[in-house]
Amino acid sequence: MKNVLIPTKLDLVAKNTLESKGYSVIQDAETPLAELVVRHPDTEALIVRSEKVTAAVIDALPKLALVVRAGAGYDNIDTRYARRKGVDVMNTPGANSNGVAEEVFALALAAYRCVLEGDRTTRAGGWEKSKLMGRELTGKTLGIVGLGNIGQLVAKRSQGFEMRLLGYDPVISQEKAAEAGVKLVTLTQLFAESDIISLHVPETEETKGMVNQSLLSIMKKGAMIINCARAGIINEDDLRAIRDEKKLLFCNDVYPADKPGEKSVADIADVMLPHLGANTHEANYNAARRSAEQLVEYAGQGVTKYVVNKGVPDQLDERYQRLAYYIATVARHYLGDGASIEQLKCSFYGELGEFAKWFLPPICAALSRDFDAQQDPEEAEAHLESRGIAVEIRTPDDTKSYGNSMTIDLAGGGTQARRVSVRGTIAEGNLVVSRINDFDKLYLEAKGNSLVVVYKDRPGVLAKVTGACADLGINIDEIRSLRDPSETNSIAILRTNLPLPAEAVAKVSQAVEPEVIFTLSLA
């Protein structure tokens, strides 16, 4: 692998490093990528930033073996098609993190101290000092949604402002959060108590529109939201409807597409930037250097640590990876919103034991919103370790005759923390959870909309649960109800025709006072 194409404005350290190692490098940020691939069909490696690497680009480069994204996110690359064509895709996680973290405070200060309006009016000859009364960051409560690399750096950079820090991340341990000076809370508490909320989660099916009317309505008057993550996390219409009433401030650096044109949030954003989070000389240099170093290690030493679209062994039925994701999702929901995770233990029975490490990425993706299931097992281990979670893959006892099944145990942090053990398998072609704690033979399928309720066993509870759903016009397609061996607790699993809104869950909770309640919505 000697021919490298860099079709972007990347610091020259990448080109210089590669050429010093004997690589032939073409760097051209002016010519469109579609033209460059036609001119340089012998390209074996691409280094890109936000350029879209589509199936057509990959097909135009028959010798292409590696695409390096100089940055963390890689949704501009068709990773699945690359995998089918035998092309590895690599990112450089952490290289841009500090630039984004610092931008959070640039936006907060610009909004609090009326920087843009002050500059505009003063340049025009005005003196609007009395109209531009600002606020100070010192002593404010900062809520950080997502405590990955960037979120933890935001916490660290806030220290000079003596801020109270709240955090929401369903997978970080309390110990790891405490190291960053962050108190872990539920998402609801974070939105209710924070003066400033900074978002640092990827856009997924689970996070899309997560900042909606129910969270916005409980924010303090005059509170601020900063979005340097992804545009789809915020429901713009809900923010538009409630912004004036709550006098909310909104600072934004992300959009559905990075291109010129009208922006849908222009009427509700107090400060808007053109996706400048990683747009610093230092971040560009770090990403460029990392890209070149990782390419050299990949080509010369076979180091694949940062490959994000690794395949799985041919002998492994990929349905079991989906099962691992589903079981871990059930376990995480059982622990509850905002619960930290201290420990993960797994057992893989039957023929699954030899593929144990390949189940860690989907498990990690189910536990952490900022991890992609396509990343490799080593990355999953490193990610969990960075969140302070102890991981143990146990030696299975196959004398139990569980067949090809798996058990995932999670232990939460804190004095009132729950523990949960979930087992699943594939039965009659269906992905199913067969056991949650002492509730066995559940046959909870990984599809559709479900409500799971655990409660102290007593007469009349099921009627209250179904009645609460009926009152909200939700049809129940199926009900399963079991008692544990001690006959102390019962579990009810309802399959519903529609996803249950928060209103329905609250209504059921009020009616039955459950030990545990959560919903699942799966395609």
pLDDT at residue 52, as a whole number: 94
pLDDT at residue 474, as a whole number: 85
Pick the range with the lowest mean pLDDT from 147-161, 401-415, 426-440.
401-415
pLDDT of 295 above 90: yes
CATH number at residue 424: 3.30.1330.90
* Residue where a domain stops, chosen among 441, 456, 485: 441
84 assigned to some structural domain: yes
453 assigned to some structural domain: yes
pLDDT of 29 above 70: yes
**To 5 degrees, how large is the angle CA 225–CA 287–CA 226?**
0
pLDDT of 502 above 60: yes
* Residue where a domain stops, chosen among 426, 441, 456: 441
Pair 336, 429 in one domain: yes
Give the domain extent around 45.
Answer: 3-94+281-301
Task: Give the dihedral sign, CA 473/474/478/483.
Answer: negative
pLDDT at residue 370, as a whole number: 75
pLDDT at residue 74, as a whole number: 86
* Residue where a domain stops, chosen among 251, 272, 293: 272
pLDDT at residue 340, as a whole number: 84
Q: Which residue stretches of 268-310 are H helix?
A: 281-301
Please give the structure tokens belonging to residue 489.
Answer: 């607790």
pLDDT at residue 523, as a whole number: 64
CA–CA separation, 467 vs 492, rounded Å? Answer: 14
> What's the average model confidence in pLDDT over 503-508?
84
Pair 431, 460 in one domain: no
> What's the average model confidence in pLDDT over 166-182?
90
Pair 86, 101 in one domain: no
307 assigned to some structural domain: no
Q: For residues 352 and 405, is the Cβ–Cβ distance under 8 A?
A: yes
> What's the average model confidence in pLDDT over 37-41?
96
> What's the average model confidence in pLDDT over 384-404?
88
> What's the average model confidence in pLDDT over 305-329?
86
306 assigned to some structural domain: no
378 assigned to some structural domain: yes
CATH number at residue 292: 3.40.50.720
Pair 326, 394 in one domain: yes
Higher pLDDT, 315 or 38: 38
> What's the average model confidence in pLDDT over 465-474?
85
Beta strands 249-252; 271-272: pairing state: parallel
Global confidence as pTM? 0.73
Which pLDDT band holds residue 350 (cuts at 50, 70, 90)?
Answer: very high
pLDDT at residue 337, as a whole number: 67
> What's the average model confidence in pLDDT over 389-417?
85
- What pLDDT digit, counting tens, does each position of 58-116 carry? 999 999 999 999 988 788 999 889 988 999 999 998 888 999 999 999 999 999 999 99
402 assigned to some structural domain: yes
pLDDT at residue 346, as a whole number: 96
Beta strands 88-91; 66-69: pairing state: parallel
Exposure letters 326-348 (e unless 16+ CB within 10 A, then b): bbbbbbbbbbbebbbbbbbbbbb
Higher pLDDT, 315 or 51: 51
Pair 106, 252 in one domain: yes
CA–CA separation, 113 vs 226, rounded Å? Answer: 15
81 assigned to some structural domain: yes
Task: Looking at mean pLDDT, say which of 99-103, 382-386, 397-401, 498-502 comes out highest.
Answer: 99-103
CA–CA separation, 448 vs 499, rounded Å? Answer: 8
Q: How many domains does the chain have?
A: 4
pLDDT at residue 92, as a whole number: 93
Pair 330, 434 in one domain: yes
What is the distance of C-alpha 208 from the center of its chain? 10
> What's the average model confidence in pLDDT over 382-402?
87
pLDDT of 506 above 90: no
pLDDT at residue 57, as a whole number: 97
pLDDT at residue 262, as a whole number: 95
pLDDT at residue 51, as a whole number: 93
Pair 287, 340 in one domain: no
Pair 132, 210 in one domain: yes
Pick the range with the lowest mean pLDDT from 14-18, 55-59, 87-91, 301-305.
301-305
Pair 295, 324 in one domain: no
pLDDT of 140 above 60: yes
Pair 415, 469 in one domain: no
- What pLDDT digit, counting tens, does each position of 225-280 carry? 999 999 999 999 999 999 999 999 999 999 998 889 999 999 999 999 999 998 99
Q: State the average pLDDT for the chain.
A: 92
